[in-house]
Structures are given as C-alpha cells and as structure tokens.
Structure 1
Amino acid sequence: MRLSHYLLVGCLSAVALAAHAETINNLYQVRETVSGQTPEERDAATQRALDTLVLRLTGDPKAPSAGGLAAVRKDPQQIISQYGFEAGPPENLRVDFDPASTDKMLRQAGLSSWGNNRPALLAWWLNEGTEGANLVGDGQPSAEPVRRAAQHRGLPVRLPLADLGEQALGTAKTLDGTDPTALRTASERYGADGLLAVHAKQDGGKWTAQWHLYLGDRPEQGKVEGADQAAVADAVLLAVSERLAPRYVVKSTGATGDMTLQVEGMTLEHYAALGRLLEPFGGQLKSVDGDKVIYKVSGSSDQLRAQLALGKLSELPPEAAPVVATQPVVPGAAPAAPQPQPSSGLRFRW
C-alpha cells in the first residue's frame, strides 16, 4: 500500500479509534463549585481550576505548586480562553483553558503531561448508606456524582446497567476482594480497558471508600474519605488518576530519547487509530512497506507499551539483524560466522 493511501485517511474525520480508549474532548475545561459570584469567589475558584487542570494533565500532586508555574498562578488569565458561572445546584464556575498556551506553560515549567487519549474504565460502584446498599447504574440519579467526578479528574468512566444480575454480582464481598474474574466476565459487553471496583460506605457524618483498579497486569488499590458521596467520588477518581498517570505521562522534551516503532498488520482504519495513540509521543511516520509501517517516537518504552495496549496491539520479539564478526581470525581456522543481534526499537502488530 502506497504512503499516499495512508495519508488520505488523515482527512477522514469519521474514522473511529479502533480501541476502547477514549479521547477526552473537554480535557481543558474545568468546573469548580462556588457559593456566589463575587470577584473574591471567582478568583479563588479560578485558582482551584488551575490546580485541577495541572493535576489532570500531569497526575503529579506536587505539580500545582511547582516553581515554574509561579507566573501563571499570579495571572491565570494568560492561559484562559473564557469563563462563566453556571446555575446549579451546585453552582459552578466553568473555566476553559487554552490548550496550546497550557501545554506551552507545562513545557516551560519542565512538567510532563498526559494526553487526551485515556483508558476507559468500567466502574462497579457500590454505595452503602443508611438506607441500604445500591450498585450505581447508568441512568440512575446516584450516577451523577460519579460522572461529575470523572469529568473533574479527566477520566473516561462508564457504569454498568446495574440490572438484577449485576446487582447480585456487585456486592461488598465481590468488590472488596482481589479476584476480578467474575467482574471481568460480566464487563465484557461494555468494552472497557479496565475495571474499577469501589465500595463506598457512610460512616457517621462522612463517607469512606475502598477501591481496586484492574488495568493490565498492575492492580492498584487504595482507601479515601469525603464529606459526602460527591466528595468521596472525587477523592476516588483523583487517587486513580494519580496511579494511572505514571503509566502514560510522556516526559517533557529532552527527558527521554527517540526510538523506532514498527507496526505490522496495518489497514486504513488502523492507521487512523495508531496516529491518535502516538500523538503524545510525537509520532512521525518514516516509511510504509505493504502492511508494515515504521514511526519515529519520543518517550519511554514502558509508557509506549502501555499506550499501545489501549489499542489492543500485540508486541513482537525484536527482529534479528546480522552483524559482521569483529573477532580476529586465527590462521588456519574458519572465520567466525556473523551472529544475529536484536535491532533497536519496538515491534507490534494488530
């Protein structure tokens, strides 16, 4: 297939990403709850929005206080495109940050960032309050705090239907356990990248939540608390974001090296999907040979592997390339045969 055939797909906006990972369109839009519309309340909420954005893009809890952000913290308007109050409840200040200016700010501050292509999580979320236990399902009123928290923390979170069969499965025993087999089986129809099991309980005047994340071969878990269901949902997804970010955050320019990536089994649809997956790594197409492409990318191999796993690509062993033997030839002995050595870069296939 000629290179020109691949490039044509760049203009086909209707081609969908052939992976479960989702592209977050409102990553640079932040909503912060306010108690009024005074200038003081607006300024305080703007500062909180900036902190929220920096956390979304870096996953680093120390990043908002980084010295390189001092100037923008003093004047956030320089990276804000628009803002306005939204009626509630709850009443919010919505701040739209300019993506180009924000990304430039992070680079100048030496901070690494996480792109808008992120793993989709299916949340099995059990709320246990004074009125009993309820598995949160898509379409239920109890889903709203989870959705708001997911948007606030920049994570694509889905919820199951919570029908009778799923209600029977989504119990405290299942969600608090460490074997996700039953949940994985029940989750197959939703096509998510990972599972998030949350058991939130009302404890006196506050809520606590124990959570387990299953994505790839690195399970994570933690415990948080909050004043109410909305606060504890936000705390859970903040903690999950901070655990996920190191897998996908691409270091700022100069922090990591360049490498080659070879992908086999390409089609036009795969080309569109691969282009989106490689955006955080500055992927540059170098060559096309049939259904095989070679890209130049910047980043770490572990982060690249994690990103390509979202597209359901399979890693291949390195290709062996012959090299000339450098051992001195002993008179009368046969010359040493060249030994194959692994080629540099990574190889994957669809």
Structure 2
Amino acid sequence: MQRLAPIILLLVGFFCAAQAAEEVGDLYQHRVEVNSQAATERTNALREALQATLLKLSGDDEVLASPIVDNALRNVRDYVVQYGYQQDTEALYLWAQFDPAQVERLILDAGGGIWSSLRPKLLVWLVQENEDLQRRIYAADSEAIVVQQLRNAAQRRGLPIQLPLLDLNDTMTVSVIDVWARFMDTIDFASQRYSPDGVIIARIYQTIPDPANLDLVTDKWQVDWTLNLGELRWRGEATAMDPGELGAAVIADVTAQLAARYRISSESDVSQQWTVQIDNLPDLTTTIAAEQLLANIPAVNDVQLVAYGQRRAAFSLSLTTDPARIRQALDLSQELQAVAVEGEDPTESNLFRWIAER
C-alpha cells in the first residue's frame, strides 16, 4: 500500500474524546496590510507573510532566525502558490498562499517541527490589578488594548481562544478573588459552560522596584500565567513597560510551550524502523484508514502492513525521528487510544486501539 502525500496529522492533544479541539484553517496563507501595489512593497509583504506562516505552523520563533529561513525569504517567490490584493473600507492588503510541502520542508530543514492544525480551544481568564490595587476580569466584549493584543496574537499564531462573557451566569459563579487566587475548583466549574479544552489564568500587576536599585530602569508591569490542559500544567511570566503588551506576551509564551511539546520534527537523516500494532480493526477499509493515519505523520517516510489477524494489524514504520515522538503523536490522536500492556512501561508501548467512528 502506498503512502499518501504528507499532510499534517490532526492531533487532539491529550483532550477528552467528548471535547472537540478546533481545526485551524488557512495555516498556509496570510495577508499583510500594504500602502500600494509597488513591486518593492509587494516583495516585503510576501516575506512578512511567509514569516507569519512559518510561525503559525511551527510555533517556534527560533525558526525565523535560521540562516536557511533567511535565504528562503530572499527567494520568497519560490514558495508562493498565488497572491492577490484585497481592499476593504479601511485598508489594502496583500494576500498570499504558500506551497504546503515546500513550507513544511523549510521548517524541518531549519531544525523546527510542524504543529498540528487541530489545536486546543483555550478559555482565558485575564485579570488585572491597577495602580490603586483594584482588580478586574476582562470580558469577551472588552475593547481594552491588552485584550485586543491578546486576540491579535492568538490569531497570528493560530491559537483558538475565547474570554468569558462575564454575564449574570458567570458573575454568580466566579469572582475576581477566585480568579486572582486561582481557586481552580470554582474556575473549572465556571468554565464548563464554554467547553474549553484548557483554561488559562493570567494575572497582570505592577512590578515591585528593587529598593537597593531604585534608579535601575525596569519594566513596570508583569504578568504570570498558568495553563491547565487535561492533567498537564504549564506556567510562565513576562514583563513590559506597558500592560497592553502583556496579552500578546502570554499568547507567545503559551503557544511556544504547547508547540514545543506537540510539534513533530525530522531529527535525523538516518531512517530507523519501528513497528506499531493497532487493535480493533474489523475490516480492510478500517485497516487502510489506520495506515493512512500513520503515513500522514510528519517524519514517517514509509508505512508497510506486515501482519493482520484477529482484528489486529502490525505496521512497520520507517522514521527520521525518535519513535518516542511518533508514539506521543499517536497517544494524542482522536482515532487511537494507547493500550497498557501488563509488565510494560506505558510510555514505551507500541499497541493502540482504533476508536474512530467511521
């Protein structure tokens, strides 16, 4: 059986089957505001659009600093499938569509990895303490700069987010104290109505000057954030002179940490073999679907069906990455569920059960 053309595997990312991560579209296209259709401005806009596309796909700012990417930007037209101009009532934009295979290859050559197009929906509880030590939670309809920057950054990085409505239902359930103190039982209960895959709690407040260095100029504002996603936890912090910048800082940090865990990279030019067993495959159609799922994982060069019997199939995979990375991808798949084998380390199991409804 032949492998289909490589595409990004749609990973759910350790979410419960009842939850539905959101598929992010338009990963291979981007539009940039321009002042005119002049050739020089068009070239610069295409470069900016390619950079944005690389960031959405990899979630990795370091990829953009690669000399390989720098060379690609100088030859940006080699990656463009089509482009055009779009005019609305406020501005003129250049829109560009890039070749998926070439862009993915560029990311891998630059030492990065490709993040799934199916990404977690995150509910953001954003609370700020002002100079008078008064606190407020930002609602979904807020026009505050910090919220606008949060939304813009999430859109640029392909991260689906939402903020709570803070309607009567919310205010009767959760208070600003609950969010500031991170009382997770209360926050989780209030979050259920939004059916998110994960919850971010971000707190913005003024930094405390160092009394020993009062003349030292430091950022005036700070944000610390936590992300609860399934059983996993992330945290981080950032500072800025303007609190409006901290929404984007949270998204940049969250995206980088999520993508670092779940993107798949080609880590080696040396191919290695790994056998995967998949149970609960009742017929040929389902077996072919399982083979295609395996074949569509980045860094899987080839898939061969080597055995089938009693509803279980064994596939031999040719890889250019550590099998642990592929196992992690399969662990997070909507279609497969890892099966624990008695006496075996669950993280090293190569047995999975087909659970997709086909």
Q: Normalising to structure 1: TM-score of the pair?
A: 0.68
Offset at residue 276 of structure 1 (A): 5.9
> Of 307, 311, 330, which aligns to 2:334?
311
Offset at residue 140 of structure 1 (A): 6.0
> Of 220, 240, 247, which aligns to 1:233?
247
Letter in 1 for 2:338: E
| 2:174/2:190 contact within 8 Å kept | no
Determine if the alignment matches structure 1 residue 149 to structure 2 residue 153. yes
Q: Deviations over 1:224-257 (max 9, x none)?
A: 3568787543332121111111211112163685
> Of 235, 238, 261, which aligns to 1:224?
238
> Of 172, 188, 197, which aligns to 2:192?
188
| 1:248/1:303 contact within 8 Å kept | no
Q: Which residue of structure 2 lines up, in the alignment, with residue 14 of structure 1?
A: none
Q: Deviations over 1:255-308 (max 9, x none)?
A: 685433334456899997996697334484736556545445545425633663
Q: Percent identity of the aligned residues?
A: 25
Q: 1:239 to 1:168 in 2, by over 3 A?
A: farther
Determine if the alignment matches structure 1 residue 279 to structure 2 residue 267. no
Q: Which residue of structure 2 lines up, in the alignment, with residue 248 of structure 1?
A: 262
Structure 1 residues 1-350: aligned runs within 5 Å: 20-32=20-32, 36-37=35-36, 39=38, 41-80=41-80, 81-87=82-88, 92-126=93-127, 133-137=136-140, 145-167=149-171, 171-177=175-181, 180-200=184-204, 208-225=222-239, 231-252=245-266, 254=268, 257-265=272-280, 279-281=296-298, 282=300, 284=303, 286=305, 289=309, 292-297=312-317, 298=319, 299=321, 300-301=323-324, 304-305=327-328, 308-309=331-332, 311=334, 314-318=337-341, 345-349=349-353, 350=355
- Note the aligned Cα RMSD (angstroms): 4.5
Offset at residue 200 of structure 1 (A): 4.4
Q: 1:22 to 1:190 in 2, by over 3 A?
A: same
Offset at residue 64 of structure 1 (A): 0.9
Gaps of 5+ in 2: 2-16, 208-218
Q: 1:248 to 1:53 in 2, by over 3 A?
A: same
- Looking at structure 1, the residues matched to 168 and 261 of structure 2 have their Cα atoms a distance apart, in angstroms, of 35
Q: Tell me, what secondary structure is at the counterpart of 1:219?
A: strand
Letter in 2 for 1:214: N
Q: Tell me, what secondary structure is at the counterpart of 1:197?
A: strand
Q: Normalising to structure 2: TM-score of the pair?
A: 0.67
Q: Tell me, what secondary structure is at the counterpart of 2:71?
A: helix
Letter in 1 for 2:274: M
Larger Rg: 1
- Looking at structure 1, the residues matched to 199 and 78 of structure 2 have their Cα atoms a distance apart, in angstroms, of 38
Q: 1:303 to 1:88 in 2, by over 3 A?
A: farther
- Looking at structure 1, the residues matched to 244 and 311 of structure 2 have their Cα atoms a distance apart, in angstroms, of 48
